[in-house]
Amino acid sequence: MPRAFRVRFSKQGRSVDPSLHIDAASDPALAEARPRQKSRYGCLECKKGKVKCDEAHPSCNRCQRRGIKCTVTARLSRWRLEKPGFDWPPSCPAPSCSLRIDARLLQWWMDATCKILVLDLHLNPLSLPLIEHLGVSPALCLALESFSLGHRGCWATKSRVEFFEKRSHALGLCREELTSKAVPLETSFYTVMLLGLTTPFMEDIDDYGKEHLIGARTILEILLRQNDSTRDPKIEQLLAYYTWWDMSCSFSVDPREIPALSTSEVLSVTSRGDAGPVGARFAGCMVEIYHLLGLLLRYCMQVLRGGARDPEHERTLELALTSRYRPDRIRDEDVLFAEAFRNHGLIILYRVCRIRRTTDVQGGMPWTDNSSVASRIHGYALKIISLVLPTQIGTPFWNSLAIPLLTAGSELTVDDQVLRNNVREAFSSVLNQCRTNTVARAKDLLEEVWIRRDNGIEISYLELALQKGWNFSLV
């Protein structure tokens, strides 16, 4: 039944006093009563609790206070609306008409997933430049779909069946494409890389994707052997991705199965400088550092496993690390990146080869007083933290610094509680964006190293990972 209203009119007509008007904008009570704008991109946890989300990235303040994972919906890219007249290159098919790929998963890849594998969103070779490869390779389409599916579902069990279906299909098609040689090798490289990177996320975390890493290396070696006239102009970009992937897995690889690339071969490619603007952020200095750290980690893990030491090789590695790398294209972020990884390598080298352990019986680099070496290592750790933490949290560039941040964080002492909390929050941020079990394992490993050190047990995270039998990988 409609509600009835009773209205009473004054018998004497009176003009309205202007002073009685109240400006709603100046009245706090009325301003407070205004309807609030709905939060369109709030996290799922705030939506479940029916509270307003501040939409802070990568984790809202409410989730940070409660110490829970902040799950957000990726914001839609605006370029589709802002550039209606965008013309695709002739060799690059439009995704809406030519690609045999799930549009929603491709959207998620463009908006979220590919950002965890790049340094610069404005020069992203895994976004629009990848469309050309997707147009000729069904295997790459399925590999991308499986990656996006796992990332969107936080690699949870409920998405595992569909993930494995797409992944298995992609593996079969990739073999067919390699056998028939119907797809360019650089396209197959991307397929193998995406399949390899997701191996520990959904399957055994201790399986770092050895077979895929070997396959990517084989493809890259074929491309490197090609004459300069036929070599892919973006070979440096592929080399950067391989050396980064190889470095991330060097904690676990057997050097006899997967030896490092030839240093002279790597330098010959980086000195060419023909990667173009897209490869600029992945080229030159960064490739050389990735390659050097791959050599260093292979050697140090061999020493920790009881292998023979090589004093000359140790001195060569130290000399290479103490030489300052300067990127060809000078940018503040590039210098920061190079410094962070350089100090990361020095910490590992001195921790493994300079700190005398009770089990050491072989000669190597000259032993020095443990306290002085430990002080130098701590200084390198503080340097990394001072470089990394002030950068903008949640950006792809910042997430790429998780490896040196782990190394630096593991060297913090009981007196560095404030810095420990900062590193802890930083890893929570990386975990929230990348959503991978490898980052979660690194965070847990860091906490255990701190507990042991607080109890007087001097141990590195590499030694602890070996004790646990973990094939540690930080992809």
Structure tokens at 171: 């593996």
What letter does residue 147 receive in the DSSP assignment? H
Confidence of residue 31 (pLDDT cuts 50, 70, 90): very low
Buried b (16+ CB within 10 A) or exposed e, 462-472: bbbbbeeeebb
Q: What pLDDT score was predicted for residue 105?
A: 93
CA distance 240 to 117: 12
Q: What pLDDT score was predicted for residue 361?
A: 42
Higher pLDDT, 110 or 90: 110
**Does residue 19 surpass a pLDDT of 60?**
no
Average pLDDT over residues 187-192: 96
**Does residue 368 surpass a pLDDT of 90?**
no
**Does residue 271 surpass a pLDDT of 70?**
no
Q: What pLDDT score was predicted for residue 21?
A: 46
**Does residue 367 surpass a pLDDT of 70?**
no
Q: What pLDDT score was predicted for residue 7?
A: 56
Closest by CA to 241, choosing from 122, 349, 400, is: 400
DSSP 212-270: HHHHHHHHHHHHHHS-TTTS-TTHHHHHHHHHHHHHHHTTT--TTTSPPPPHHHHHHHH
Q: Which residue has the tokens 């390899």?
A: 196
- 210 with 258: CB under 8 angstroms? yes
Q: What pLDDT score was predicted for residue 278?
A: 36
Q: Where are the domains of the chain?
A: 40-75, 100-203
Higher pLDDT, 332 or 122: 122
Q: What pLDDT score was predicted for residue 364?
A: 45
CA distance 388 to 31: 42
* AA letter at 247: M
Number of Cβ within a 10 Å radius of residue 323: 10
**Does residue 413 surpass a pLDDT of 90?**
yes
Task: Supply the CATH classification number for the domain 40-75.
Answer: 4.10.240.10
CA distance 136 to 114: 19
Cis check: omega of the bond before 58, within 30 degrees of 0:
yes
Q: What pLDDT score was predicted for residue 45?
A: 81
With pLDDT > 90 as the criterion, what percentage of the chain qualifies? Answer: 35
For the entire predicted model, the pTM comes to 0.76
Contacts of 366 by beta carbon, 8 Å cutoff, 6+ apart: none
Confidence of residue 362 (pLDDT cuts 50, 70, 90): very low
CA distance 402 to 439: 8
**Does residue 160 surpass a pLDDT of 90?**
no
Cis check: omega of the bond before 125, within 30 degrees of 0:
no
Q: What pLDDT score was predicted for residue 233?
A: 61
* Alpha carbon separation from 254 to 205, 294, 458 (Å, rounded): 17, 12, 26
CA distance 344 to 338: 10
pLDDT in tens, 205-244: 778 889 999 999 999 999 888 756 555 567 888 888 999 9
pLDDT in tens, 414-450: 999 999 999 998 888 888 877 788 888 899 999 999 9
Q: Computed over its alpha carbons, how large is the radius of gyration of the chain?
A: 27
pLDDT in tens, 35-68: 555 556 688 888 888 888 887 765 787 887 777 7
